[in-house]
Amino acid sequence: MLERIFTGSGFWNPLIWLIAFVVSILIVLILRSLGRPGFKREGDKTKPFLCGNIKDIETISPRSENLYWGFRESLKGYYKVMERFHSGDIRDYIFWFIFVIVLLFLMEVL
Amino acid sequence: MIQHLPALIIALPLLTAFLMPLIGRISPTFRKLFAFIMIFLVAIIGILLVHEVHSKGIILYTFGAPQPGETTPSSLKIPVRIIFEIDGLGAFMVIVSIILAFTAMFYALPYFKEERGLDRFYALLFLLLAGILGMELTGDMFNFFVFLEIASISASALIAFCIDRSETLEAGIKYLAISSIGALFFLLSVGLLYGEYDALNMAMLAKSISNTFIDKMALILILGALLMKAGIAPMHMWLPDAYAEASPPVTLCVIAATQASMYGLLRMIFTIFHPSIDIAFLPALIIALSLITIGIGATMTLIQNRLTRAIAFAGVAEMGYILLGVGTAMYAGIKGYGEVALEGAIFHVLNDAIDMGLLFLVAGSVYLATRELDMNNLGGLARRMRFTAITFLIALLASSGMPPMNGFASKLLIYESTYALNPILSIIAILASILMLAIFVRIFYSVFLGPELPNLRDARDPPVLMLIPMLILSILIIFLGIFPSYAIDKLVDPAVRSLIDAKGYVSAVIGGG
Amino acid sequence: MEVTELISLITRSILGTIVLALVSIILGLFYKGVDRKIAAHMQARVGPPIRQPFRDVIKLFTKENIVPDDAIPWLFNLSPVIALSASIIMMLYLPVGDIKPMLSTEGDLILILYLLLIPSLCLVIGGFSSGSPFATVGAQREMVLMMSYEFPLAIAVISVVWRLREAGIDVPFSLSSIMENPIWNNVGILGIIGCIILLIALVIVTPGELSKVPFDAPEAETEIAGGLLVEYSGRNLALFYLADAVKTLAMATLIIAIFFPYNLSSLLSISGYPAYALDFLFYLFKLFLVILLSVTLIRVAVARLKIDQLVSTYWISVVLLSLIGLVLLMFDRLACLKGWY
Amino acid sequence: MIQNLPYIAVALLIIIGLYATIFKKNLIKIIMGITILESGVNLFLITLGYRKGAVAPIYTNLPEGTKVPQSLTFPVPQALTLTSIVIGVAVLALMLAIAVQIYRKYRTLDVTKIRRLRG
């Protein structure tokens, strides 16, 4: 039960990892407690760091679909193909199923 | 009693399913209680069965004549019977299905309040459970087909259950159409095999199969059907639809059905067809399909805006990991790194089931609290739904395979065996885990973090009864993550050994070596 | 596993963590100072003294630790703690000097790859949980950056390990066997070229891993005001600063462990404590070289990339580069098998 | 040749069924295609079970001079087909029921329009 996993090429022992992790968290917490705790609540300290006249923050914070824009932007071509592939058409679902079977069949025959 | 466990574990859900409409007439509370007691009993029977298999070896349960000649004239040496044969792999799958079904039922009881037709809902859920368990226990090809169809029909009825929304109907008919075609192909190949060998019994077929053209055709049809049912690209498109549109308890059971199809694949490949059929390109093709699945699943999940759909695409990628391990084991044989790969794949079946299950339960809690699944309209829920946020964090780490969660252990086994075949395999596997981490972090941000939205201020954690199944799955994730060798020794290794020892499976039925 | 072995492992991991926490924080801050000094000299500035990072940290510890209104406090405060502790335990699995990794039999290279992710992941979650739009933009960029550099990083690491396995090394994922069997000794001429290419890829990955210029789009002071760290202050910021320092050290140590595992003591046939001391000094020198090459030089020489350029840089150019390295290694194995050398 | 006729019919039925499912736009026609496919598979099973000149194994009602068991057909394929037909009916009923509901929601049965789940 406490054995490490041996994969033939590497090891993994979560228990020891966990012990080390807990110890290091303790060290970090001790280190952290050296610092100045808390803060005085005054002025606009706790408001987000923004300029301009912003009323409610939730209207300007990025929504989910804006995330990872850079990634989608650079793989635009791929995603265009993929969206066409996932057409949602029930016939395509069946077509790809038949396609795989026929492919297997042809690869076997040829 | 003990020797009838395999029959009971199927009979009990079936009985419950058909009693449900009657019970529902008494009172809704009694219906809930009854459903809970029954799923509890099934779980206990399942655990006893697994214990029995692990202590005594393969269990053979015969419906009908145990010996040839008892029902047919003595000159005809064909026993008329259906057998259930449960070995290590079957026992492992029973555990997986029971974990999912148990948590799903637990979650369903408080999840549905005012919905109509709950009798039928529970009836179908138990029917689905019976179908899944039947697929995992049976030792007969035609029986497998029947249970496959039972599972498909009840699952698609369940997916389309909330007919108020049009998407559920669409997902339901897509699932039903594609899986009935798949099942018909399966039946066709059962017919081919029966025509050639006069046998439907898996062990009998395993013994008699040779490398003829018809057998290869049968293998190809079966593989196609089961790969499709397991959600392997490019036949995976039904899976995100079905997972995302069904209500969370149903999704959990559909996950179990998908894993049962993966079990079918393992059984067909390694026990029935493996040594005798020689299709040279097959392992390479399986590996290629698994890489495509991992790639498509992991990249498509990044562009989804619907919470459940994003999780479902990640589920596609997870199935790819399992198939990657299986393909490597097919290529290298179940020895050396191939055995490690198979171990990883089978372990990942369990981990994937638990992780995905927890993710969908969290999505269900979010939906219950906000009536919203579009991630663009969600945000800031971590303040009000702290427990849900923490469980999601656990599921996030687990399904993207971060240490020390359970996903890491099984993925480690897969990475550190597939690279020996070709480094590209594990490179893509590692990359896809990072992509999955990215999508889950995105989900975490857009649902739980960020400024609080004014229309979501009254979102609350779900009631305690719904937190319990989430808690159970979280504890399982952490337990399996910290003591993976326990699960490997107790559950995974017997399963792998039973696949290595295909002769044992055959001789348990036919006798001899 | 026997009880005595377990107990010795546990004590080793506890003591090792304590010792390595101190050593790696001090070393990390020292190399941060060196990096800043050299960068300043390259830009014809005088630059701060080498002990400046220490002063920065001490100053940050005396500052107020502000938690914004829109933040989720428990996550906001937890992230820097996890980031620093994950960076520290990474050092337990990496060879420091000539000493075998503390836990060489308990974790391997894949674990290190995942542990390298955790500090960045904590940055991301901390940025997201601070509730500021700038931090959100920065955090999602960091995640994109992680997705991008992980591909070449995985190629470089897995290729080397695969080649070691094909050369007949047992347990090739273990850091101690990588250290004892340098990749250069196990390959032919094609493999050496391939390894050089992989090394270059890894050197390009390093600034991304540490979000330094030109891959610092997540922090980008000029456009998103420090990005994911914008709301952090006081001791939380200090912890992230330390985590960055330790992670730099760990990344450099990883490169050293894979590609430069040689030591002076075996060359000069010294043994005992002098050998340890010598090797440790040599390790410090190697660290200096790697950090100079992969962090300082690149960050002084190149300008920041846009986020989509960054993705295409890693996913196209660097991936192609490292794939060439992998293919060369494969050919090398083939050549070794057929005896073409 | 003549004994292969059923197999040709099986192949034709399967191909017609697949054609309908892949190329027809109407959901009802797709469901019909699946049913035709199923008939093809059922016919295949039945054909497998056929033995020339053999009789059904009903012991109480055997014709004179039947050799037991040589000239009896083993009724497994028939049993399989019956099961398969029953399952097919269930599938068909469920599919049609969902199709009716889909028509109510989408006001169309054109599958190119029933695709809100995509991407």
The confidence score (pLDDT) of residue B72 equals: 59
As a whole number, mean pLDDT of residues B310-332 equals 92
Helix count and strand count (H, E) for chain C: 14, 0
Higher pLDDT, B155 or C168: B155
| Amino acid at the residue C330 | M
Q: Which chain C residues are closer than 8 Å to B424 by Cβ?
A: 326
The confidence score (pLDDT) of residue B394 equals: 92
* Nearest one of C115, A52, C335, C143 to B435, comparing CA atoms: C143
Element (DSSP H or E) covering residue C33: helix C3-42
CB of C186 within 8 A of CB of C169? yes
Higher pLDDT, B164 or B387: B387
- At C169, give phi and psi (nearest 5°): -85, 135
Give chain D's domains with CATH numbers: 1-52+77-119 (1.10.287.3510)
Q: Least CB-CB distance to B426: which of C108, C146, C158? A: C158
Give the max Cα distance, chain D: 67
The confidence score (pLDDT) of residue B361 equals: 92
The confidence score (pLDDT) of residue B257 equals: 93
Q: How many CB atoms lie within 10 A of CB C175?
A: 27
Q: How far is A100 from chain C (nearest CA, A)?
A: 29
Q: Is residue B495 in some structural domain?
A: no
Tens of pLDDT, residues B260-275 = 999 999 999 888 887 7
d(CA B98, CA C122): 35
Q: Least CB-CB distance to A89: which of D18, D112, D119? A: D112
Tens of pLDDT, residues D77-116 = 888 899 999 999 999 999 999 999 999 988 888 888 888 8
The interaxial angle of helices A14-34 and C73-92, nearest 10 deg, is 120
The confidence score (pLDDT) of residue D94 equals: 92
10 Å CB burial of residue B52 (0-12, 13-18, 19+) is middle
Contact B153 D69 (CB under 8 A): no
| Number of domains forming the structure of chain B | 1
Q: How far is C108 from chain A (nearest CA, A)?
A: 6
The confidence score (pLDDT) of residue A7 equals: 81
* Binding-face residues of A in 26-85 toward D, CB within 8 A: 83
pLDDT confidence bin for B94, thresholds 50/70/90:
very high
Non-local CB neighbours of D54 within 8 Å, separated by 6+ positions: D71, D72, D73
d(CA B297, CA B293): 6
Complex ipTM value = 0.91
Contact B423 C326 (CB under 8 A): yes
d(CA C19, CA C29): 16
d(CA B84, CA B136): 9
Q: Is residue B263 in some structural domain?
A: no
Please report how many Cα atoms fall inside a 13 Å half-sphere around the Cα of residue D52, on the Cβ side: 2
Concatenating the DSSP letter of every residue in B325-390 gives HHHHHHHH-SSTHHHHHHHHHHHHHHHHHHHHHHHHHHHHHHHHHHS--BGGG---TTTT-HHHHH
Angle at A107 between CA A102 and CA A108, to 5 degrees: 100
- State the Cα torsion B26-B27-B33-B36 to the nearest 10°: 80
As a whole number, mean pLDDT of residues B332-359 equals 90
- Judged against a pLDDT cut of 70, whether residue A107 lies above it is answered with yes
Tokens for D63, please give them.
């014709």
Q: Which chain D residues are closer than 8 Å to A98 by Cβ?
A: 18, 22
Q: Is residue B384 in some structural domain?
A: yes
d(CA B466, CA B248): 11
Q: Is residue B355 in some structural domain?
A: yes
Contact B181 D116 (CB under 8 A): no
- Judged against a pLDDT cut of 60, whether residue B512 lies above it is answered with no
CB of B122 within 8 A of CB of B152? no
Q: How far is B513 from chain A (nearest CA, A)?
A: 31
Q: How far is B204 from chain A (nearest CA, A)?
A: 25
Tens of pLDDT, residues A43-102 = 776 777 666 666 666 667 777 777 888 788 888 888 899 888 888 888 889 999 999 999
* Binding-face residues of C in 101-130 toward B, CB within 8 A: 108, 110-111, 113-115, 117-118, 121, 124-125, 128-129
* Nearest one of B329, B240, B316, B243 to B286, comparing CA atoms: B329
As a whole number, mean pLDDT of residues B213-225 equals 90
Q: How far is C248 from chain B (nearest CA, A)?
A: 20
* Residue range(s) defining the domain that contains residue B477: 280-482
Q: Least CB-CB distance to D111: which of A83, A86, A89? A: A89
Is A46 at the interface with chain B, CB within 8 A?
A: no
- Judged against a pLDDT cut of 50, whether residue B57 lies above it is answered with yes
* Binding-face residues of B in 399-438 toward A, CB within 8 A: 403-404, 408-409, 412-413, 416-417, 419-420, 438
Query: Subunits with at least 3 CB pairs below 8 A relative to chain D?
Result: A, B
Low-confidence ranges of chain C (pLDDT < 50): none
Q: How far is D24 from chain B (nearest CA, A)?
A: 14
Compute CA C121 distance to the chain's CA centroid, rounded to the nearest angstrom: 14
Mutate to test the interface with B, among C113, C123, C150 (most CBs of B within 10 A): C150
Lowest-confidence pick of B116-120, C16-20, D61-65? D61-65
Q: Is residue B373 in some structural domain?
A: yes
